[in-house]
């Protein structure tokens, strides 16, 4: 999807031995050389960081994660640790954290599962099984209920059409089905929403939303807001907004995480780290266009210290 903006940071002269040495030096003795850690984490690709992690362990007999946990702290530590994971592992950890213990953080399940491609979902399921020796689908089924469970389990099948073709007749039929399932009757028949929103390509969905607008002269988001509530509404709206403009969706989430008093650092870390090699450059451009300010500047004024320096470095 946003791959035209993907930023593969692979650079000339990547030297895993030198990098492992530098990191060891940065974490050794009194005090930590945070600048060296920031420079390295932000200027290597995810694959390169995996190689550095393995080399570090082989050379020094220690896990880099454990070293970071003992040397760093706060949101800086959280971000640094997130960057040591593969993107699929990072997402898997976020999902597991959202479900473990009492209560479930549905917002995290929605944020991840409603915005990832088939390939990403397959990788997340594999990472989850590997890291926690459990099936992600079983955990989601056990931790959610009702129609939210149905849409999330449907998304976990990773069988959304990702083709480029648009079938105008299907768009018209889907629009009618959505109307009949929602506004056209008492109570909402969520099955139609699940089927259409979880399975159709983003391009096809855009045609469906257009057909819906023409059919009943109302935007699909308004209809969802009128017909559903709570987490189910959040999931449907996320799916619609991502189909319309995925980079714009993430730009909005970042903006909301910083505007007003206080900053939602978890969202900030999650989006910047997870999208770094997917569509972060496109998200930055969309942010600038929508809010007339640069994402880097807003992050700079909303965060501080090494955490700020690392996020700003990742944004460049």
Is residue 223 located within the same domain as residue 252? no
Is residue 209 located within the same domain as residue 274? no
Burial classification of residue 277, based on how many CB atoms lie within 10 Å of its CB (0-12 exposed, 13-18 middle, 19 or more buried): middle
Give pLDDT < 70 ranges for the chain.
1-12, 186-187
Is residue 217 located within the same domain as residue 252? no
Residue 112: inside a domain = no
CA dihedral 160, 162, 139, 129 (to 10 degrees): 140
How many CB atoms within 10 Å of residue 183?
Answer: 16
- Give the pLDDT confidence score for residue 29 in this predicted structure: 86
Residue 137: inside a domain = no
Residue 129: inside a domain = no
Determine the Cα–Cα distance for residues 249 and 241; give it in Å rounded to an integer: 6
Residue 216: inside a domain = yes
- Give the pLDDT confidence score for residue 1 in this predicted structure: 44
Residue 80: inside a domain = yes
- Give the pLDDT confidence score for residue 11 in this predicted structure: 60
How many CB atoms within 10 Å of residue 253?
Answer: 19
Residue 26: inside a domain = yes
CB 46 within 8 A of CB 9: no
Q: What is the CATH number of the domain that holds 253?
A: 1.10.220.10
pTM for this prediction = 0.94
> Of the candidates 36, 67, 84, which is a domain's last residue?
84
Residue 90: inside a domain = no
Is residue 303 located within the same domain as residue 251? yes
Looking at the structure of the chain, the number of domains it has is 3
Is residue 257 located within the same domain as residue 307? yes
- Which residues in 34-68 are b (16+ Cβ under 10 Å) and which e? beebbbbbbebbbebbbebbebbeeebeeebeebb
Q: What is the DSSP string of 76-144?
A: HHHHHHHHHS-HHHHHHHHHHHHHSSSS--HHHHHHHHTT--HHHHHHHHHHHHHHHSS-HHHHHHHH-
> Of the candidates 84, 114, 142, which is a domain's last residue?
84
Residue 221: inside a domain = yes
Domain of residue 253: give its range: 247-315
**Percent with pLDDT over 90 in the chain:** 90
- Give the pLDDT confidence score for residue 4 in this predicted structure: 43
- Give the pLDDT confidence score for residue 190 in this predicted structure: 86
Burial classification of residue 92, based on how many CB atoms lie within 10 Å of its CB (0-12 exposed, 13-18 middle, 19 or more buried): buried
- Give the pLDDT confidence score for residue 160 in this predicted structure: 98
- Give the pLDDT confidence score for residue 186 in this predicted structure: 59
């Amino acid at each position: 999807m946003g791959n035209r903006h993907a930023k593969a940071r692979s650079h000339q002269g990547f030297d895993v031995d030198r990098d492992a040495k530098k990191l060891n030096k940065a974490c050794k003795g009194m005090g930590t050389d945070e600048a060296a850690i920031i420079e390295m984490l932000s200027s290597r690709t995810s694959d390169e960081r995996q190689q550095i992690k393995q080399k570090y362990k082989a050379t020094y007999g220690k896990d880099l994660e454990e070293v970071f946990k003992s040397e760093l702290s706060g949101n800086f530590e959280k971000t640094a640790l997130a960057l040591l994971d593969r993107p699929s592992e990072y997402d898997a950890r976020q999902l597991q954290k959202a479900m473990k213990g009492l209560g479930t953080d549905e917002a995290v399940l929605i944020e991840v599962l409603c915005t990832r491609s088939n390939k990403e979902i397959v990788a997340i399921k594999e990472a989850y099984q590997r890291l926690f020796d459990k099936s992600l689908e079983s955990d989601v089924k056990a931790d959610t209920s009702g129609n939210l469970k149905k849409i999330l389990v449907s998304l976990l099948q990773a069988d959304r059409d990702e083709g480029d073709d648009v079938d105008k007749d299907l768009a018209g039929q889907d629009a009618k089905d959505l109307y009949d399932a929602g506004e056209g009757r008492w109570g909402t028949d969520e099955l139609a929403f699940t089927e259409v929103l979880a399975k159709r390509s983003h391009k096809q969905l855009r045609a469906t939303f257009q057909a819906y607008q023409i059919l009943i002269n109302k935007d699909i988001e308004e209809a969802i807001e009128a017909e559903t509530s709570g987490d189910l509404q959040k999931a449907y709206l996320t799916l619609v907004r991502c189909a319309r403009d995925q980079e714009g969706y993430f730009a909005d989430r970042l903006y909301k995480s910083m505007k007003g008093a206080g900053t939602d650092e978890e969202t900030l870390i999650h989006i910047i780290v997870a999208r770094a090699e997917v569509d972060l450059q496109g998200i930055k451009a969309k942010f600038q266009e929508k809010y007339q300010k640069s994402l880097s500047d807003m992050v700079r004024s909303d965060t501080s210290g090494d955490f700020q320096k690392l996020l700003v470095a990742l944004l460049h």
